[in-house]
Structure 1
Amino acid sequence: MTKTVLISGAGIAGVSLAFWLRRHGFTPTVVERAPALRDGGYKVDIRGAAIPVVQRMGLLDRVRELRTDVRSGAVVDRTGRRVASMNGDSFGAREDDDAEILRGDLNRLIFESTRDEIDYRFGDSVTAINGTEVTFAGGRTESFDLIVGADGVHSRTRALAFGPEREYVRDLGYRVAIYTVPNHLGIDREELTYVSPGRTTLVYSTARDTGAKAMFLFTAPEGIDESDPRRALREAYADQGWEVPRLLEAVDAAPDFYYDTLSQVHMDSWSTGNVALVGDAAHCAAPSSGQGTSLGLVGGYVLAGELAAAGGDHGAGFAAYERRMRPFAERNQKLGPANIKRMVLGSKGQVRTSMTMLSVMSKLPGRDRLMAAMMAPLHKAANAIDVPDYEETRRAA
């Protein structure tokens, strides 16, 4: 049954898929256009159905060792006064089994567990697909039985096999920017959030990191040229209070600056012929869902497992993967638009009301239970899939 599989993209979904394909006897090759594995990045949550997936990888203990250990979170006003404070898990909507980790740490952990068994090719990308023949940016052509796009919301593989991005990617009307900043606030494993109409700014510090990260979530800026994202960010936040001006001073020197639309991917099918999609390339739920990493982990696990269960019939494997994953993905996609409207508030009145509610709630003795009730939809969506033990099933057969 051994089949060669080309995976385009060495992000969470790509390395997760490679891990499980190798475990099931396939021969995966991973191509990544970046010159090396991307380190650092923003903090992400592993929750719900993704927990047993990481556990079956044998990596859960290491994930917990590398957790961000963010211990508290607070909302501040433009003067820096703390309007509301909570413990880190409540602020981050985490339950007992959930794990928060830097995206780059998780990516490297999975990569390093497979690097001796899998052919990883950095600094290259797919430029054409013709049946089983793949042409790379470097000019060579190779043949693979299966091809999987794990290359994110702006997937080149999806464009080559399914059509242009505009047919599948929906802009939610918001932007996100994130980059490393000097920790001039001296925060230690803490997250601070400043909210103004149409603009939300977060700064956080994690364990084992002497610096800090600044994150900006905001409505799509009207009348601002976004061809230069750094300049667009500065213009969008030009009139902001709190520490925003100082945070913006660091944007030009930031080596890890990231700026993008807050978008989702909606497709009628995630496969065509011998090509399939996984993770954000197939069903991006937007960063505001809080579920992108978990969807990538679970998607890689399910796709590999269903291909193995289908034997040599990749069409049946792709179909079974989609039947199992689509309801889960669609349920989590619903979180994206709903959450961003709570994260980025539209008016001064909404900001005042929200700040008052948070201030009152943070002082109540049952605040953790109230927060848990508010986050119940997230945790129900995170667990809205059965993840079979494909290896146990195979051994039983």
Structure 2
Amino acid sequence: MRNGNVLISGGGIGGPALAHWLVRAGFTVTVVEKAPAPRPGGQAVDFKGETHFTVLTRMGVLDDVRRLRTGGVDQEIVDAAGRRLAVMSGEFTGGDLEIRRGDLSRVLYERTAPHCEYLFGDSITSLTDTRNGVHVTFERSAPRTFDLVVGADGIHSSVRRLAFGPEADFVRHLGYHYALAEVDEDFGPPSMYNEPGRMVAVGGPKSPAFFVFASEPLDYDRYDAGQQKDILARAYAGMGWRTPEIINAVRRSGDVYLDSLSQVRIDRYSAGRVVLLGDAAYGNTLGGFGTGLAMVGAYVLAGELAEAAGDHRAAFAAYERHMRPYAKIAENGNAGPFMAPPTKARMWARNLVFRSSFLLRMMIKMGDSFATDIDLKDYPALTK
């Protein structure tokens, strides 16, 4: 397998980023994605520091990302009467460069679609690792054999479940859920409102409503928008400020996404010819580093595969050796209590951070140091 045939599960961010690099290194790539097309919208994601910008520059997409940047707008934290309590600065929320997740996904898809195969509206149903490859069956497509399979399919990774074991063995629920809903109404300047254990935020036009709330694990169909809207309505019943208006707008919306805040803990990124990338390997929902980790991980994994000249075991070991220390930030922290503090006292303390320029600068500086904490190799096969 010098320039092999690779299947990537997941067409969001990490999957297309890896496809870009693998095609450049001479691999044949297929990407399978359960959604029927690239997903638009979604939350804003950000890049910060030299490491992220080096990867974007080497990919040749930095100008595209800058063209589509959302700007990192300041957001007011308000009380029930709409009075300002603090301001969450755009510098804090948006990093050095912010872009909607759907826009970034579209940029990566458009860069890779002419050079690799995309199977939309499909998913992997079984993986059989053999001496000569991985035999893969699909929900819709005919079975095929690939030299390698990459799970870049998120915290609820099907590839990880099929190759490593049940999700419960690797994914830890952090006690919160979050939701994004595309709403047509303009609720004015970006604002965020809290009551203990609940947060709702709205932005300007074309910005999704955003929710974080304390909750035990929920049993629901992640592809059933109606169920998710019902859960939100129950979770936010009786909440003040403009919450009833926002929930009504969500009821009228066509697009809603609800998921748990969860953290992945796994002792190895690969099993045989199968390897994990991004949130499937080192996810921490809303941790602030997921997109950067996926983009850097895609570059490192592709580079090591290109350098290993067909030895996937050596490539996977080198990928893990480089990424494990860098991805350690995803093993700690829980954004839930920060976004939706469980008590009024914790709400007050959180708001104090945004009223103190010193504390805010310290948090931003810490985030920047985590984002650059890797010695990024130069892989000639990827940058020639």
**Common topology (TM > 0.5):** yes
The equivalent residue for 1:300 is 298
Match of 2:208 among 213, 237, 256: 213
Cα distance in 2, alignment partners of residues 258 and 393 from structure 1:
35
Assess if the C-alpha contact under 8 Å between 1:145 and 1:274 holds in 2: yes
Q: Could you tell me which amino acid in structure 2 is paired with residue 306 of structure 1?
A: E
Note the C-alpha offset of 1:285: 1.8
The equivalent residue for 1:110 is 108
The equivalent residue for 1:172 is 174
Question: Kindly tell me: are residues 117 and 139 of structure 1, through their superposed partners in 2, closer, same or farther at Cα, counting changes over 3 Å?
Answer: closer
Assess if the C-alpha contact under 8 Å between 1:178 and 1:213 holds in 2: yes
Cα distance in 1, alignment partners of residues 216 and 383 from structure 2:
52
The equivalent residue for 2:121 is 123
Cα distance in 1, alignment partners of residues 295 and 383 from structure 2:
20
Assess if the C-alpha contact under 8 Å between 1:309 and 1:394 holds in 2: no
Secondary structure of 1:85's match? strand
CA deviations over 1:90-127 (Å, ceiling 9, x no partner): x4262xxx210000000110110111111111111111
The equivalent residue for 1:381 is 370
Secondary structure of 1:276's match? strand
CA deviations over 1:141-185 (Å, ceiling 9, x no partner): 111111111111111111111111111111011100111123332
The equivalent residue for 2:224 is none
Note the C-alpha offset of 1:186: 3.0
Assess if the C-alpha contact under 8 Å between 1:31 and 1:125 holds in 2: yes
The equivalent residue for 2:15 is 14
Once the two structures are superposed, the pairs formed by residues 156-167 of structure 1 within 5 Å of their partners are 156-167=158-169
Assess if the C-alpha contact under 8 Å between 1:2 and 1:27 holds in 2: yes
Note the C-alpha offset of 1:38: 0.6
Assess if the C-alpha contact under 8 Å between 1:77 and 1:194 holds in 2: yes
The equivalent residue for 2:310 is 312
What's the RMSD between the two structures over aligned residues? 2.0
Cα distance in 2, alignment partners of residues 327 and 192 from structure 1:
36
Question: Kindly tell me: are residues 323 and 2 of structure 1, through their superposed partners in 2, closer, same or farther at Cα, counting changes over 3 Å?
Answer: same
Q: TM-score, normalised to structure 1's length?
A: 0.89
Match of 1:141 among 137, 140, 143: 143
Cα distance in 2, alignment partners of residues 225 and 104 from structure 1:
26
Does 2:69 match 1:67? Answer: yes
Note the C-alpha offset of 1:353: 4.2
Question: Kindly tell me: are residues 233 and 143 of structure 1, through their superposed partners in 2, closer, same or farther at Cα, counting changes over 3 Å?
Answer: same
The equivalent residue for 1:283 is 282
Once the two structures are superposed, the pairs formed by residues 168-317 of structure 1 within 5 Å of their partners are 168-187=170-189, 191-205=190-204, 210-220=205-215, 228-287=227-286, 289-317=287-315
Assess if the C-alpha contact under 8 Å between 1:83 and 1:358 holds in 2: no
Cα distance in 2, alignment partners of residues 387 and 8 from structure 1:
25
Once the two structures are superposed, the pairs formed by residues 72-83 of structure 1 within 5 Å of their partners are 72-83=74-85
Q: Could you tell me which amino acid in structure 2 is paired with residue 128 of structure 1?
A: S
Cα distance in 1, alignment partners of residues 14 and 80 from structure 2:
39
Q: TM-score, normalised to structure 2's length?
A: 0.92
Q: Could you tell me which amino acid in structure 2 is paired with residue 378 of structure 1?
A: G
Q: What fraction of aligned residue pairs are identical, expressed as a percent?
A: 45
In structure 1, runs of 5+ residues without a counterpart are: 362-366
Match of 2:331 among 333, 356, 359: 333
The equivalent residue for 1:364 is none
Cα distance in 1, alignment partners of residues 87 and 281 from structure 2:
37
